[in-house]
């Protein structure tokens, strides 16, 4: 059963954080909103994340993560901002479609602004080299977050605004193809390893049965 006390405390922390953010007190807002995040995650763990959406029809956790992201964006911490903005999509497949679509549009606009600023501040003098280099892939994460942090900026800019950032189209395509190929090879390797392990297990079992059979036969013959 949903713990109403936790839900109430989560909503109260969110409202306090939201009010502080509206007043421009973003640092204090983040503290309150992170408290709300912890509480909303407790509700998620209990399997009730969408039974109590906020006024916009979107789950409390998504709203909280989005507002923390906005607060960091206002403070000029764009790396933290994109982390929270991206995290707000964590349960998107379970959110209510039309409500979450509108919510996502706002988050994507903020993401685009943050990534664009990060590009201007950190990458403009290295973009050409980055586009020419072979992208590093870490398949522990989904594409494009499987790329290194600088390449993620270019990839996400292209995803968020493909017309504006058409210059990154080829880089994005090649990186995605490399990501897919590495995952295919890893899957093939895993399947081969499983087959090898299965053969080994069956070989051991056959040896055990053969030894067991020999022992039984010897025991039967010794009784005659």
The CA-based diameter of the chain, rounded to the nearest angstrom, is 97
Distance (Å, rounded) from C-alpha 144 to C-alpha 125?
Answer: 22
Residue 46 has a pLDDT of 56
Distance (Å, rounded) from C-alpha 212 to C-alpha 113?
Answer: 71
CB burial of residue 208 (10 Å; 0-12, 13-18, 19+): exposed
Residue 1 has a pLDDT of 44
Distant-in-sequence, close-in-space partners of 35: CB < 8 Å, separation ≥ 6: 13, 17
Distance (Å, rounded) from C-alpha 31 to C-alpha 26?
Answer: 9
| First and final C-alpha spacing in the chain | 69
pLDDT in tens, the chain (224 residues): 456 788 899 999 999 999 999 999 999 999 999 999 999 988 876 555 566 688 999 999 999 999 999 999 999 999 999 999 999 998 888 887 789 999 999 999 999 999 999 999 988 888 988 888 888 899 999 999 999 999 999 999 999 999 999 999 999 999 999 999 999 998 766 555 566 666 667 667 666 766 665 655 555 556 65
Helix axes 4-22, 26-45, angle to 10 degrees: 160
C-alpha atoms less than 13 angstroms from C-alpha of 67 in its C-beta half-sphere: 32
Residue 152 has a pLDDT of 95
CA nearest 157: which of 214, 224, 112? 112
Joined together, the tokens standing for residue 117 give 């600023």
CA nearest 164: which of 121, 109, 122, 82? 109
């Amino acid at each position: 059963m949903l713990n109403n006390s936790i839900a109430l405390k989560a909503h109260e922390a969110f409202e306090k954080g939201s009010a502080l953010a509206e007043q421009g007190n973003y640092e204090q807002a983040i503290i309150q909103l992170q408290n709300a995040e912890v509480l909303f995650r407790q509700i998620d763990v209990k399997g009730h994340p969408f039974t109590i959406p906020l006024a916009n029809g979107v789950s409390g956790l998504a709203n909280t993560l989005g507002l923390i992201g906005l607060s960091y964006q206002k403070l000029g911490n764009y790396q933290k901002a994109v982390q929270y903005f991206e995290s707000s999509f964590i349960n998107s497949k379970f959110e209510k479609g039309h409500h979450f679509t509108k919510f996502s549009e706002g988050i994507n606009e903020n993401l685009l602004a943050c990534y664009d600023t990060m590009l201007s501040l950190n990458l403009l003098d290295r973009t050409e080299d980055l586009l020419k280099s072979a992208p590093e892939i870490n398949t522990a994460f989904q594409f494009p977050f499987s790329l290194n942090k600088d390449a993620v900026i270019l990839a996400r800019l292209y995803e968020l605004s493909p017309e504006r950032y058409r210059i990154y189209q080829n880089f994005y395509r090649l990186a995605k193809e490399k990501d897919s190929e590495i995952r295919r090879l890893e899957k093939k390797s895993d399947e081969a390893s499983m087959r090898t392990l299965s053969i080994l297990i069956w070989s051991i079992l056959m040896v055990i049965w053969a030894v067991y059979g020999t022992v039984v036969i010897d025991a039967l013959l010794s009784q005659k």
